[in-house]
Amino acid sequence: MQQLQGKFIVFDGGEGCGKSTQVQLLKQVLESSGQRVLLVRDPGSTTVGELIRAILLDPEHAEMAMRCEMLLYMAARAQMMAQTILPALAEGQIVISDRFVSSTLAYQLGGDGLTANEIRATAEIAIKGRWPDVTILLDMPPERSIARVKRAKDRIELRPAEYHEQVRKNYLAQAAAMPEKYWVVNADRLPEEVHAEVVRAITQMTNVQGAKSQSNPKSQ
């Protein structure tokens, strides 16, 4: 696991796909091997971020425009990057985030005419150009993943089934466009089966990235 020091790993996917379970399982494995791990959730993990999260997920804010929604996510992200993620990475910690820009590219894409280029350009400013090294996409049909949500649904989860179907398509399109950064995992299985593939995926992807970096010292 030494090759994971200073790496930024993201778990993403639709509502109820098991992200929270998988980030905790990975954190346990890494810490048991002696690694230092920072676990964050997006949006959140800072005082400012948690306040923004509450606004974003409150069902009473149904009037929120999609561009406003996107910018609030980016604002929370900017604070989290400056306050927690970038300092941790600089210290060689492994950062695991529950959601990141990949969520915005799935959930807000197309709303109010938002394009992927606009979202990425805004994200570049918010995250200071530090994109994740690996994004694990936990994929499963929305009708099954949404059914796993037992608590009161938030503003995003309450959107219609058609919206969540499009979100899934947007996620899969990201992964298809950037196979060197994304790994799609079938999340409609037992948690331990998903976890085993997650560990294999992260190990394989970071080994490949490390080999490319050594062959090309100028690569990031």
Instruction: For residue 92, give its domain range.
Output: 11-214
Specify the CATH number for the domain of residue 203.
Answer: 3.40.50.300
Section 126-149 average pLDDT: 95
Q: Which structure tokens are listed for 126? A: 């918010």
CB-based contacts of 88: which residues, under 8 Å, 6+ apart?
38, 95
Report the first-to-last Cα separation within the chain, whole angstroms: 19
Decide if 78 is inside a domain: yes
37 has pLDDT over 50 = yes
Q: What is residue 211's predicted lDDT score, i.e. its pLDDT?
A: 62
Section 45-60 average pLDDT: 98
> Which one is predicted more confidently, 3 or 32?
32
Section 31-59 average pLDDT: 97
Decide if 220 is inside a domain: no
Query: What global pTM score does this model have?
Result: 0.93
Environment class of 6 (CB within 10 Å of its CB; exposed 0-12, middle 13-18, buried 19+):
middle
108 has pLDDT over 80 = yes
> Which one is predicted more confidently, 2 or 45?
45
Q: What is residue 207's predicted lDDT score, i.e. its pLDDT?
A: 84
How much is the mean pLDDT over the chain? Answer: 94
Q: What percent of the chain has pLDDT over 70?
A: 95
Q: What is residue 220's predicted lDDT score, i.e. its pLDDT?
A: 38
Decide if 6 is inside a domain: no
Decide if 149 is inside a domain: yes
Q: How sure is the predictor about 106, in pLDDT bands with cuts at 50, 70 and 90? A: very high
76-90 pLDDT per residue, tens? 999 999 999 999 999
Give the chain's domain count: 1
Q: What is residue 209's predicted lDDT score, i.e. its pLDDT?
A: 76
Q: Chain centroid to CA 154: how far?
A: 18
Residue 132 preceded by cis peptide, ω within 30? no
Among 18-32, 43-57, 142-156, the least confident range: 142-156
Q: What is residue 219's predicted lDDT score, i.e. its pLDDT?
A: 42
